[in-house]
Structure 1
């Protein structure tokens, strides 16, 4: 069932965490934040919305890192009920997708609850001060193939955040599969 998160709560402060990653390290908020901001995305291994968008997510994440935006992905789904989202499968997917950013495991779902994550993918874009500036979609393709020249909503918003510290006032919520809660 498709779920859309609420609109951006401008200025809401990023919540710290300490999570294991597919690269064998642990990361806190300060470890993943960049000098110009941070993009946290809640994704998973099996969601059709994420799978159709992963190539664009990887591209935009790498390009945003080049603009001084830290990037990290978090999987919070209940792996006992959805084995495709197990940590072992996260390690495989991170390698297969060629992620240039940490893929974190929120096994007890406390981080997803603290952020009020609603779906996969759910994007949270923060400025350098850790204030929320973007909670919108990747682009208009959703789980369809992206048309050539499609506006890159997330990338453009986070580029603006990197340059000005503020996100766009007009944002279209993301849409995806619900977080699989325990």
Structure 2
């Protein structure tokens, strides 16, 4: 979906830039576009003969603009709920304490280098997002099974949401981080 939106936005940006360049006379060497009227004379005659054309065109443009603004509001709302869940203060405090325990327990699993936890979503549809970095020799299926059987289940019980959906994303730890962890001198950034 993001690729389609990016391609559409790039195409519209190019069309707008080309129209601006044509209006400023950048293409006059090829065609004399800057001296011509913006709308074709046939379209102007049709619009002046039909009293309904311009109000309908303006109404359609307003509906499209409103739909675009509503879409943008929903996208911003989803982004905000990703970073700041719409939960009460007590649940957020429980979630913070349980997240520390979950992160500590996940880092204690064999092969896990790092773990990050975030409670996201709305009050009616919360979810837990977890990112786990593992060593190259770790078995992801075993780490996943251990997470689900122990630490994640304890997190759900601690915050009182036994049916909380959990999204776990695995990635291999970088060589630099693995070397720093093995030597014991690595510092974690937060």
TM-score bracket, shorter-length normalisation: under 0.3
Asked which structure has the greater RCO (Cα within 8 Å, sep 6+), the reply is: 1
Normalised by the size of structure 2, how large is the TM-score? Answer: 0.23
Q: Where is the strand percentage greater, Structure 1 or Structure 2?
A: 1
Larger Rg: 2
Normalised by the size of structure 1, how large is the TM-score? Answer: 0.24
